[in-house]
Structure 1
Amino acid sequence: MPQISVDYSAGLADDLDRPALGRALNALAVKHLAAAPEACKTRFRRADETVVVGGETEKQDLVLVEFHVFPGRTTEAKAGLAEAVVALLAEQVTLAPGRRLHAAAKVVEVDGSAYRKATLTG
């Protein structure tokens, strides 16, 4: 833990350096949440269809980052992480001229009593 999910618009598929962004997100989790580096896991999910009300959908992209963490972090640590993630997205996401990016981050606490994990090897 933390488990990090990144949902992004299909229009960003060729311009988003997912490995670099994943490493940077993991580093922010270590910094703001005191997470162990090896515990950070990031997955990316391409959203083929997104809709933004109030604008031309085809000219707008979304990147939504969600951190699932066990309880115990302060409100300040979680807010600091969310702010750092939005700033990171502004730096790392390349936009074509005329496009707009909607970036968001949230930190969600997971009930540890209902969470299990396993690492399997072949």
Structure 2
Amino acid sequence: MPHIIIEYSANLEDEVAPMRLVEALHAAALETGAFPLAGLRTRAERRDHYLIADGDPGNAFIAVGVRIGEGRDAATRRRVAEVLMAVLERETAEIFRCRGLALSLDVSEIDGTASLKTNNLHQRLKARAKP
């Protein structure tokens, strides 16, 4: 796994295509080599109700949470965070120059004790790869 969850303020939708962020972060996470394709899930959630800093309605935010399974060392988690933040900064560079924009990214491990999963994606991807 990871689950990459992109939260963004509604006032950004005219300037940043949410699906573009989803695709860019998904691809970058895969390119790190830290995660299997079948475990990767990326989604964006628009936030309509928010207050940022001094309340200026032009202020905006994108907060990316990356929830990963246990077992990756601190250096790997840091590398993933840096790669994904670089993509986020690249994708929002023009907006950053023009208005108040808060970007954040957090990679956190999921405690496996009570994290249950059922899926067939690994098997389905293997079956598709066979000639």
User: Do the two structures share a fold, i.e. TM-score over 0.5?
Assistant: yes
2:28–2:87 contact (8 Å) kept in structure 1: no
> For residue 5 of structure 1, what is the aligned residue in structure 2?
5
Give the structure with the higher percent helix. Answer: 2
RMSD across aligned positions (CA): 2.2
Scaled by the length of structure 1, the TM-score of the pair is: 0.82
Alignment of 1:47-58 (within 5 A): 47-53=47-53, 55-58=54-57
Q: 1:114 to 1:62 in 2, by over 3 A?
A: same
Q: Does 1:19 align with 2:19?
A: yes
Identity fraction in percent: 28
1:33–1:78 contact (8 Å) kept in structure 2: no
**Could you tell me how far apart the structure 2 residues matched to 1:75 and 1:109 are?**
10
Q: Which amino acid aligns with 2:91?
A: Q
Alignment of 1:25-104 (within 5 A): 25-32=25-32, 34-53=34-53, 55-93=54-92, 94-95=94-95, 98-104=98-104
Deviating beyond 6 angstroms after TM superposition, the runs of 4 or more aligned structure 1 residues are: none
2:34–2:76 contact (8 Å) kept in structure 1: no
SS at the partner of 1:116? coil
**Could you tell me how far apart the structure 2 residues matched to 1:15 and 1:21 are?**
11
Query: Greater shift after overlay, 42-51 or 100-109?
Result: 42-51
Flag the structure with larger Rg: 2
**Could you tell me how far apart the structure 1 residues matched to 2:69 and 2:77 are?**
12
- Count how many residue pairs are aligned between Structure 1 and Structure 2: 119
Scaled by the length of structure 2, the TM-score of the pair is: 0.77
Displacement after TM superposition at 1:96 (Å) = 8.3
2:19–2:44 contact (8 Å) kept in structure 1: no
The runs of 5 or more residues in structure 1 that have no matched partner are: none
